[in-house]
Amino acid sequence: MFSRSLLIKLVIGCLLGSLLAPALFVRAGQPALSIKTYLPTIINTQITSPNLQTLLASYVLAPVPRYSEAKYIPRGFSAVPYVGWDQLSLPGKAINDGVNTTFDNADWLTLQLNRPAQLSIVWRGQLAPPTWMSSWTLAEKVIIDGNTYPTFRKTFPAGKVVLGAVNNPGAKTSQATYLVLLAEQDGRPSTPPTVPAGKEVPKVNATCPAWVHDQYATKAPDGRMYPTWHPQIDPVYWCYFQHDHGSDPHLFKADFQPAYGYTMPEAHVGFKGYVFEEGNYAWYITMHFGSGTLAGTCARFHTTDLALKDKTTGKLVADLHLMGDYGKSIVNTTSVPLQPPSCPDQANVGTSTGVRLFASETDGAVNYTPWRLDDTGNILGLKLSSLTIWTDRMMVRCNNAVCDIPIPTGGDGLYRFVQTYPGSGVQAGSHTGVFYTDGKGKTLLQPGDAGAIKQYVEPGLNVVSLGSEAIAGGTGKYRPADPWQMRYVCTTNTNAPENNLNLEGAVQGNN
């Protein structure tokens, strides 16, 4: 089923596939992307107030991105002459922290500025600044915790700013990392965002009030408003939502917004998106996969939506919605069916090939959780029987095969990946254009029928290339390439600890 030997084959398959077929972005005539070079601009189309976004849109650390130890604090610096400037604190602030303080790479920190800004570096190293800072202007000294440090200023236009590490190339001295301060291009601190009358004032670096979260909404085909994607951190108030929704849909299409709950009502935090590209097409899959509870052990059907875009024309050629059948839930090391008290017979799923694997504390506690879809009998044109969503960062696991007590794992649910096989995708059948089905995608309905779900497939569409990027071994593995917008790429890099994706430790609630 999902044995250890299969896991090894999957990794080898993706590696060999990458060697036999260049990375998907290179094949599309674009530069290869990596966590070092991918610089998103967060787009928030839901905010209707005149507030500006924060000066800093994102920051990328390389080669060890310990994002949970970094923190951007708008208007948070308190020492003269920089009172009220934004502050970016980076990992490795102590002299004896040798993990992130011995680096000598020229692209240690990459910033994305939403607008022109004046930057100041507070140099805390015991040696002279590296040569990459030679173009910066020596400015006033600051006193922090009784220590005096020099500062260096420089103004930058909006966009990408690349800063080096604490050492010159080839040097490996362990030094304290610098602080980055930011202000408007004329040196004024950024203006605090306004708050609608009667609303709770959001606190920087704290949990967002509900009203901030509720701004992220979109209209579904039924004319109703539903919650939609938002980033881990709100880009105006820089408050935390405590959960994530995976890939930013703006990576897929500028006007695309998934409607969470249109296909079927499910717990909000479990909606996750996955965007990736293959050949001439971009894919966006929305699948409900929560990791903070064990409710999934009893829930057989979950939202599984697929949108497909032709990259040449920019046209949406498929927009499909399905109550995906994920079959029975079993122990991942023994294949023994789970018997939760609220659904002891949940494994009686007939001929369904769907399956949900869960870790069990008393059965080896191997913390990987793949869910595989059964697409049998759908009339949507979906060919996704091989689609499997994985995570090894479940927040809880079963105590045993009865699974009546959740055992915390220490995971945050952020690191998920997608597996497909060649032949996966969408192939137009007898129903094309706009049509309506029941929630399971198996019965044709009329627009006004109860439970009717709107579907779209371009006539003649035949795109079943999903998984073909990794030909050898017959499998494709798509993993998140960055924590800010979570574009997925085919890669064998499994070294992705939780704090690579958990921005400022923002994800701490049920995810």
Q: What is the pLDDT at residue 279?
A: 86
Between CA 17 and CA 474 the distance in angstroms is: 8
The pLDDT tens digits for 405-418 are 999 999 999 999 99
The pLDDT tens digits for 217-262 are 999 999 999 999 999 999 999 999 999 999 999 999 999 999 999 9
Residue 189 makes CB contacts below 8 A (sequence gap 6+) with 75, 83, 84, 85, 86, 183
Between CA 139 and CA 117 the distance in angstroms is: 16
Between CA 378 and CA 460 the distance in angstroms is: 17
Q: What is the pLDDT at residue 51?
A: 79
Q: Which residues of 272-303 are buried (b: 16+ CB within 10 A; e: fewer)?
A: bbbbbbbeebbbbbbbbbbbbebebbbbbbbb
| Parallel, antiparallel or unpaired: strands 424-427 and 462-466 | antiparallel
- Judge if the upstream peptide bond of residue 370 is cis by omega within 30 degrees of 0: no
| Range 159-186 average pLDDT | 95
Confidence of residue 467 (pLDDT cuts 50, 70, 90): low
Of the listed ranges 1-10, 320-329, 356-365, the least confidently predicted one is: 1-10
Between CA 209 and CA 411 the distance in angstroms is: 24
Residue 415 makes CB contacts below 8 A (sequence gap 6+) with 391, 392, 393, 480, 496, 498, 500, 501
Residues in the chain: 511
The pLDDT tens digits for 254-278 are 999 999 999 999 999 999 999 999 8
35 has pLDDT over 70: no
Share of residues in the chain with pLDDT > 70 (%)? 85
- Name the helix (H) or strand (E) containing 6: helix 4-20
Q: What is the number of alpha carbons within 13 Å of residue 16 lying toward its C-beta? A: 11
Confidence of residue 491 (pLDDT cuts 50, 70, 90): confident
Q: What is the pLDDT at residue 5?
A: 39
Residue 133 makes CB contacts below 8 A (sequence gap 6+) with 121, 123, 152, 164
Burial (CB < 10 A; 0-12, 13-18, 19+), residue 433, is exposed
Mean of all residue pLDDT scores within the chain = 87
Confidence of residue 59 (pLDDT cuts 50, 70, 90): very high
Residue 53 makes CB contacts below 8 A (sequence gap 6+) with 42, 44, 114, 235, 236
> What do you get for the CA distance between the two ends of the chain, in Å?
27
Confidence of residue 475 (pLDDT cuts 50, 70, 90): low
Between CA 369 and CA 359 the distance in angstroms is: 7
Report the candidate in 51, 172, 33, 186 with the shortest Cα–Cα distance to residue 110: 33
Confidence of residue 493 (pLDDT cuts 50, 70, 90): low
| Range 505-511 average pLDDT | 93
Confidence of residue 421 (pLDDT cuts 50, 70, 90): confident
46 has pLDDT over 90: no
Q: What is the pLDDT at residue 299?
A: 97
The pLDDT tens digits for 9-31 are 333 334 333 332 322 222 222 22
